[in-house]
Homo-oligomer: A and B are copies of this chain.
Amino acid sequence: MLQAIKLAKNGKYSVKSNPIVGCIIVKNNQIIGRGYHQKAGTAHAEINALNQASAKTEGADVYISLEPCCHLGKTPACTDSLIRAKIKRVFFATKDPNSLVAGGGMRALNQAGIETKVGILKNKALRLNPNFSHRMKTGTPIITLKIAMSLDGKIALNNGDSQWISSKKSRDDSHKMRALSDTILTTSNTIIADNPRMNARVKTKKKITQPTKIVIDKTGRLNYTYQFFNTDTKIIIITQNKNYLNPPTDNIHILIVADFSLKNIFKSLECFEYNSIFIECGPRFATALIKEKICDQLVLYLSPKILGEDSMSIFKNKITKISDAPKLTIKKIKRIGQDIKLTLEL
């Protein structure tokens, strides 16, 4: 099972927005098939492993990091394939976190006379897909706000210079977080200020499927010459401007949102079934996200530099009593080179 879990991780940058899954097929104490899920819409881990094992699967045992699916989605139900392959026993680490189908795969296998066992290395397997599990349970994606700041809470100098507050290692880590997210969201303000590419640049042998890029551009200030649009990655522009410039390419989609409150903008994104939204933006939007409790978590790269009081503050809120200050909870502390990465819950 540990091998199945390790195998699953090969898909971590490419599987979005499906869960990562690994599968091992064992017969006569030998591994005859290995598979992992690579990309939504392509074959599941079980199918890849069955294909590798080819005709030798009769009477074999199967180890999967997640309960096999029993429904026809973009690909056929894996339970059917396992039954057809005459598998003897199926072990899986966790049930499907989608409460509507959890246990369905197990029942289908049992009805076909295949022995099952659930729960081996359950906790390890649960940690594989935190975003997916979150959406399955709550119906909403995990929304993460990421900021890099100095020791004194500054994100840029007053002349706009923000290159680089955090170290190369922190920036690399932040690219990994992008690559693990289904979507990256930013605002037209940030695009106009920094002209960022907003893609995931990670040094890895694993395949990377770029996250969908989402930009909030209420009045339609952007044009398609910004680097942000120079890609065939899926892009969603959220706007109120019905006369928004027609997209030059098919990968760019315009979503007109009538009620432009933050709550409604994020509500409108739920239909896309993304597991995670990773936000990188300026202080004004960040402050609004915190104030309106839109985010689930804040990821802060804290670099031990002092930029001084003239520099741009991380948040723009104004309070008159310390007891009124938004209060977060520190969930994780990690050293990244000379910086610290703090994960805070709102």
Contacts and interface: CB of A to CB of B under 8 A. Distances in A.
A27 B236 CA distance: 81
A346 to B, nearest CB: 10
A159 B321 CA distance: 9
Contacts of A154: 153
B328 A306 contact: yes
Contact of A152 (B313, B322, B333, B339): B313
Interface in A316-339: 316-322, 325-330, 333, 335, 338-339
Nearest to A159: B320
Contacts of A126: none
A309 interface: yes
A312 to B, nearest CB: 9
A250 interface: no
Interface stretch (A11-19, A108-116, A162-170): A162-170
Contacts of A130: none
A306 B290 contact: yes
Contacts of A338: 329-330
A316 B308 contact: yes
Number of copies: 2
A10 interface: no
B309 A313 contact: yes
B333 A340 contact: yes
A315 B305 CA distance: 11
Given A330-B338, A330-B340, A340-B333, A308 B318 contact: yes
Contacts of A333: 333, 335, 340
Contacts of A283: 309
A314 interface: yes
Interface string A52-96: 000000000000000000000000000000000000000000000
A318 B300 CA distance: 23
A190 B130 CA distance: 47
A162 B319 CA distance: 12
Interface of A: 149-154, 157, 159, 161-165, 283, 287, 290, 300, 304-311, 313-322, 325-330, 333, 335, 338-340, 342, 344
